[in-house]
Amino acid sequence: MGKKKVWVLCGGESAERNVSMVSARTIFKSLDPCKYEKELVWISPQGQWFKKSVVFIEQFEKVEISKGLDFSQKKRSSRSLSDCFHVKTLPDVVFPALHGPLGEDGAVQGFLEMLHIPYVGCGVLGSALGMDKEFSKILAERAGVPVLPYFCIYDPKEAESVARKLGFPVFVKPARLGSSVGISKVLSIKELFPAVKNAFKYDSKVLIEKAVMPREIECAVLGDPRAEDSRFKLRASALGEVVPHSDFYDYKTKYLTQNGAGREIPAKLSKGQEEQVQDYSIRVFKALDGYGLGRVDFLMDKKTRKIYFNEINTLPGFTSTSMYPALWGFSGLKIQSLMDILIELAFRRDTVAKRLKAEP
């Protein structure tokens, strides 16, 4: 058998596109050149697709990431679909190194399914559910996993009554975005309205959630929830803890501040707590129709030591500071082997889909 042609997708129209570029570089370099004919495909902020070299990422990272996020979206292209694809041949499989809307929310996944191209990661439903903090919390609770008290609002005028019901402090977050973009910790009414205004820049739905003094615990999940053989069976990694050197783990701390956060792998938890978080991670992943990979994040209240589901990342970061590959590395799975399993899982799902009847 010859090499499989792999596209690594990066960039995109989301406010998280800069982080995507850094993840793509790691993924691209971790794909074994003896097994894969790899190509980098960059999606521009206007939605056009271009083949690029890995040098493009490295140059982009030096300039753009150092400046932080540029949220001034340019006008989207109105050209035809064929004009937007500056490529000649389609791949055997796609690895979406995309974060945020139109990449992690099921949109690209649905597009790839229409083209009948296998892809790494969760399907359309799992991606959409995982991207929406409200629905992921609803389904986590239904699976028996605790969440902190929260409300979702569509109108800034609702914020004050909601925040007073929860009691300060609260976190204000865009409901369908990641990388801590647009998140604020709010201690009083005076701080509430600027935080809500900021969150509404990035989403039409905003989540307001009760804040606790947390430990941030993360678990990596890998596999097919329906598989029985050990290579593909759904499993949870060892746990990690993010220790931010600021009030909370915001975008600046994650990506723009040198040594902005520490990382402890394994997290210092009791055996019972570790097993509980791993069990919760598997439950959440299954409840949200997860497939392939996900990083499930939890908050442990420092006072009560109670564990709460925070969110799931269905396309977690693969930067040098990202927890997902680090957790599997600690658990004994090297990154090249991790890439192989993720691509095999993509083909595995495609094989199952091809068996299904398309007509009555």
| Packed helices 335-355 and 323-330: angle between N→C axes, nearest 10 degrees | 100
Q: What is the model's pLDDT at position 70? A: 41
Beta strands at 150-153 and 214-223: parallel, antiparallel or unpaired: unpaired
Give the whole-angstrom CA distance, residue 199 versus residue 275. 35
Closest CA to 206 of 186, 234, 177, 237: 177
Residues 92-129: tens digit of each pLDDT: 999 999 988 888 999 999 999 999 999 999 999 999 99
CB proximity list for 76: less than 8 A, separation 6 or greater? 13, 46, 47
Query: Stretch 22-31: mean pLDDT, rounded?
Result: 92
Q: Examine the pLDDT at 63 and tell me if it is beyond 90.
A: no
| Packed helices 271-287 and 133-142: angle between N→C axes, nearest 10 degrees | 110
Spell out the long-range contacts of 193-202 with Cβ–Cβ below 8 A and sequence spacing 24 or more.
Answer: 193/156, 193/159, 196/153, 196/156, 196/159, 196/172, 197/156, 198/172, 199/172, 199/173, 199/174, 200/156, 200/174, 201/71, 202/15, 202/71, 202/174, 202/177
Better-scored residue on pLDDT, 5 or 21:
5
Q: What is the model's pLDDT at position 68? A: 43
| Packed helices 189-199 and 159-166: angle between N→C axes, nearest 10 degrees | 120
Q: What is the dihedral of CA 100, 136, 235, 237, to 10 degrees?
A: 70
- The domain ranges of the chain are 4-121, 130-146+213-351, 150-210
Q: What is the model's pLDDT at position 331? A: 96
Q: What is the dihedral of CA 253, 254, 256, 258, to 10 degrees?
A: 80
Query: Stretch 8-15: mean pLDDT, rounded?
Result: 87
Q: Examine the pLDDT at 357 and tell me if it is beyond 90.
A: no
Q: Examine the pLDDT at 73 and tell me if it is beyond 70.
A: no
Give the whole-angstrom CA distance, residue 132 versus residue 127. 9
What are 67's two structure tokens? 């400046």
Range with lowest mean pLDDT among 65-69, 234-238, 244-248, 333-337:
65-69
CATH class of 4-121: alpha beta
Q: Examine the pLDDT at 253 and tell me if it is beyond 70.
A: no
Query: Stretch 147-160: mean pLDDT, rounded?
Result: 97
150-210 CATH fold: Dna Ligase; domain 1 (3.30.1490)
Domains 4-121 and 130-146+213-351 fall in the same CATH topology? no
The rounded mean pLDDT for the chain is: 88
Better-scored residue on pLDDT, 71 or 280:
280
Q: Per CATH, the architecture of 130-146+213-351 is what?
A: 2-Layer Sandwich (3.30)
